[in-house]
Amino acid sequence: MTDFGSTGDARRDAYIARDERAAREQAEVDAMLLGTSPLPAPDPATRVPFVDELAQRRAVRVLPHGRRRGWAALGGTAATAALLASLGTATVTGAFDSPGLDTPTTAAPTQVVPASSTSATPDWQAVTAAVRGSVVAIDVVTASGQGQGSGVVIDDEGHVLTNSHVVDGARSITVSLADGRLHEAELVGQDETTDLAVVRLVDPPADLSPATLGSSAELAVGQAVLAMGNPLGLDSTATTGIISALDRPVVTQSRTESVVTNAVQIDAAVNPGNSGGPLFDAQGRVIGINSSIATLSGGGGQSGSIGLGFAIPVDQAADVAQQLVEDGSVEHAFLGVGLTDTTVEVDGVTRAGARVEQVEQGSPAAEAGLRRGDVITAIDDRAVDSSAALTGYVRQYTSGDAATLDVARDGELTQVDVTLATRQTPSA
């Protein structure tokens, strides 16, 4: 064994300190969108190059990056060595000209699996068999390369729900069914505000197996879940876990704007290529659309799944999908305020909240009487502990919806009723 001696000990300690410092620096919050990992590298002008930084004190939220604060400003301080990465599309290794099956195999319709009354462990084998036919792989060709993602069949007309970043800029879209058949697809519509999109199979087969959509209203932390998709091009991959948290504000960056989602956080392994794939409950009902992960940065790359995945709640996804199918576009509610994160003391209790910095003239906020300095701590009895949380909640509403805000003003807590409206530019 080598004896470092006193000098050697000092040198060794210096190396350890240096390595620890390097590790901390390398673990800083960075941001990138995996959107497509094309061949060659994506053109920053046409592809989504990054995701905003991840801060995880009370929420997963962005750092300002020197950006001008708009109506959906999301301040915060990075507090975790994590990287928020969209699960988008992994590098394509296959070809797009593979022929479809000459003799299509009839796919069994998706059925809801009854819960076992005698065992607390879900029958994942039965669930996987029941839902597999509704999950598809999506291959795209863009101006800068090729990529892959996932999706879920939502009706027998061939509509497939996926993430917007999966199909963003796609010149061609090919959908692979669970039995291997390939179908050309066309974009019905995409919504960058929620990172959701719908594509439709050209000449859809008669034996599609649409998924059963559940509800995200009654989800619970600790509930068993199954994620299925096309990670790294490995189609029909199923992983299981639990819901780790609900209403986790997650901020990513689309091509044109911040995407704020009060997400379902899961520990089931999800990886690049899972984007757009469904998250199922133990009865085989879709409860979310997998869209992003947090992962440790290292060596300019990513570590893959570390048990921090995020899914768009199915109630929000279903509403957006319906609007895209019916109208090709989506209307979003807005409040009309500029926000920052803050804390406020009311009745001797310190609360976290979203501080109103600006109120847009003529907006729902202005009409409701909100003013600069107000701190919003809840919306419809749901706690608001950051500007990202409020923005995520507002984006779950539609134009004309009424909401009640808990507002800390002049040391007192009051309630403000507001009727949300719609405008073209996304906002809080």
Q: What does the pLDDT profile of the chain (428 residues) look like in tens digits?
A: 444 444 444 444 544 444 444 444 333 323 233 233 333 333 332 232 223 333 333 344 322 222 222 222 222 222 222 334 444 443 322 222 222 323 333 344 466 665 443 347 899 999 999 999 999 999 999 999 999 999 999 999 999 999 999 999 999 999 999 999 999 999 999 999 999 999 999 999 999 999 999 999 999 999 999 999 999 989 999 999 999 999 999 988 667 677 889 999 999 999 999 999 999 999 999 999 999 998 776 555 555 677 799 999 999 999 999 999 999 999 889 899 999 999 999 888 898 999 999 999 999 999 999 999 999 999 999 999 999 999 999 988 988 999 999 999 998 999 999 999 986 444 45
The CATH number that domain 333-422 falls under is: 2.30.42.10
The verdict on pTM exceeding 0.75 is no
Separation of alpha carbons 75 and 89, rounded Å:
29
Would residue 165 show up in a list of annotated catalytic residues for this protein?
yes
Contact 163, 198 (CB under 8 A): no
CATH of domain 23-95+122-315: 2.40.10.120
Q: Which residues contact 375 (CB under 8 A, 6 or more apart)?
A: 342, 344, 351, 353, 354, 355, 356, 407, 408, 409
Looking only at the bridges linking them, the beta strands covering 31-33 and 83-86 are: parallel
Q: What CA dihedral angle connects 253, 257, 259 and 260, to 10 degrees?
A: 120
User: Which of 37, 86, 165, 191 is flagged as catalytic?
Assistant: 165
Q: Which among 52, 195, 235, 267 is annotated as catalytic? A: 195
**Which is the catalytic residue, given 37, 150, 176, 275?**
275
Q: Can you give the residue ranges of every domain in the chain?
A: 23-95+122-315, 333-422
